Every structure is written in structure tokens, then in C-alpha cells.
Structure 1
Amino acid sequence: MRTSEDVFHLAIPAADLDAAQEFYVGALGCKLARRYADRITLDFFGDQVVCHLSDVADDAPELYPRHFGVTFRHREDWERLLRLARTRGLTFFAEPFHRFAGRAEEHETFVLADPSNNLLEFKYYDDPRMMY
């Protein structure tokens, strides 16, 4: 069974590893764990994301069904990342918006697009029981 010492792993395509590294490390503040000629491995908010060099990119991405990101436990962390994204001029696929007002799953969200058009959603739920 997974414990808090384990990490989730996700592999995504990257058309340009330098651009991917600049976005994830330079702009989002993730940690570069390793770099090889064909991939970079990142500490993505405590989990592992590997950007594999690929010529397969989505020129017209849609949020559903494929995206990934972080659901923050604390609003301040979500707001801090939002400010960072704005300050660094990152590409918003979807500006911040409020979803499901008045319902248990009410939350704030925004979506960024990385240089290879992978979509990253960042959320904060008012009720932490709705994180899963």
C-alpha cells in the first residue's frame, strides 16, 4: 500500500526539453532530479513527472479528458502559485474561475499550458473532504 513516503509518477511528452525545463524548473519552481538526452525527471510538488522528448504534441489541447496538476490543501498555497504564474507570464489555458458554487465540491481552479501543450490544473476546495 502507498505511504506518504511514496510518490506518484506521471510521464508526459515534451517537444523541447530545454523549454520544458525552463517552464517546470525556472517558472514553476519544480526541482530537476535528472536530465538525460531524451528526458528530464522532475520533483513536481512532491510527485515525479518525467518529460520525455517526443514529436507527438497536441496542437489543440482540450482540458478533458487529459490534464494533471495539484489540488492544494491550503488556499494560500493555491493563491501563491497563481501569483507566481501571473508574475512570470505563464500561459493560462483557463484563467482562474470558481466551480460548483453552493455545492460540497465548490472550488477555485486555473489551468496552465506548458510549452508542449500539456495542461496543468491547480485547484483549491473550500471543503478538504472534496479533495478526492
Structure 2
Amino acid sequence: MSSAIVHLAIPAGNLAETVKFYTEVFGCTLGNSEEGRWQDVNFWGNELTLHQSEEQLPSVRHDVDMGNVLVPHFGVHLTEEDFQALKDRIAKAGLTYIDEPYRRFKGDKYEQETFFIADPNNNILEIKTMKNPEVLWP
């Protein structure tokens, strides 16, 4: 399969506050926008569009190997270096994790560290780093 950019549009609540979270905490850069209505964010090479909104998406917990996770959620796989840098920025911002960083599949080829965090509009993000990223799509 050839490489492609994923586009995801989500409700942002207060657009200015949510843009600040993605740029200052996550280190994302900005792209196209319509002032006060929506803003494109470079989400590690993918197009995340934040829409000014009144609503929040409901989330529920689903059982998986390590307990249960909030769904819906979205996220990204980062290099170990970028993952640690993001955790440092989260700590400096004084933010709280929904699910603290933890290791899954220890000793397995799919071993990874992952955490869950919410943006200002309660969109749930899962951020992870794979010990062996090449095993995902050989």
C-alpha cells in the first residue's frame, strides 16, 4: 500500500483554546484555516481539522488486553525521541493523563509504550511509540 495522508475533522469546542493545545503542548504546526470556524493542524504529517463547536463527542470504555480504553479515540505512533519529548511538554504544561503512560505486550514483537490524554474539548488521543515499528506494516 502506498503512503497517504489521513484527514480527520473533529469538534474543537473553543477553537483558540484547542489550537493552543495542539501547537504549544503537542508541537504541531498550523495550515489552512477559516478564522473562527476551523483550523488545519499538521498532526505529524496528517491533516487534523479542528472545527469551532458547541458539542463534545461522548466516550465509553471498551475492554482490551490491558483493561479498558476510551472509544472513540485517535492518535499517532511516534519515534521514541518524539514520544519522550511530548511527555516532557505534557508535564511542563501541568496536564493530567486519562491513562498514564504504560508498556503493553512486554517482550512481544508488538511491545509499545502508550498513554491517553484529552484535548480541551475532550477529544481522546492515544499516543504511542513502538519498540519495533517495522512490525506494524512489514
TM-score bucket (shorter structure): 0.7 to 0.9
What residue is the counterpart of 1:86 in the other structure? 91
**Percent identity for Structure 1 against Structure 2:** 35
Size of the alignment, in residue pairs?
129
d(CA) in 1 for partners of 2:48, 2:38: 10
What residue is the counterpart of 2:71 in the other structure? 65
Runs of 5+ consecutive residues of structure 2 not aligned to the other structure: 62-68
Letter of the structure 1 residue corresponding to residue 31 of structure 2: A
How does the TM-score come out when normalised to structure 2? Answer: 0.81
More strand by share: 2
What residue is the counterpart of 1:115 in the other structure? 120
What residue is the counterpart of 1:23 in the other structure? 21
d(CA) in 2 for partners of 1:121, 1:96: 10
Q: Is the 8 A contact 1:10 1:50 kept in 2?
A: yes
d(CA) in 2 for partners of 1:31, 1:61: 30
Secondary structure, aligned partner of 1:29: coil
Runs of 5+ consecutive residues of structure 1 not aligned to the other structure: none
2:9 to 3, 7, 11: 11
Residue 24 of structure 1 deviates from its aligned partner by: 0.7
Write out the 4+ residue segments of structure 1 that deviate beyond 4 Å after TM superposition: 59-62
Could you list the per-position Cα deviations for residues 96-131 of structure 1 after superposition, in whole angstroms to 9, with x for gaps in the alignment? 111122222211011111000001111111122333
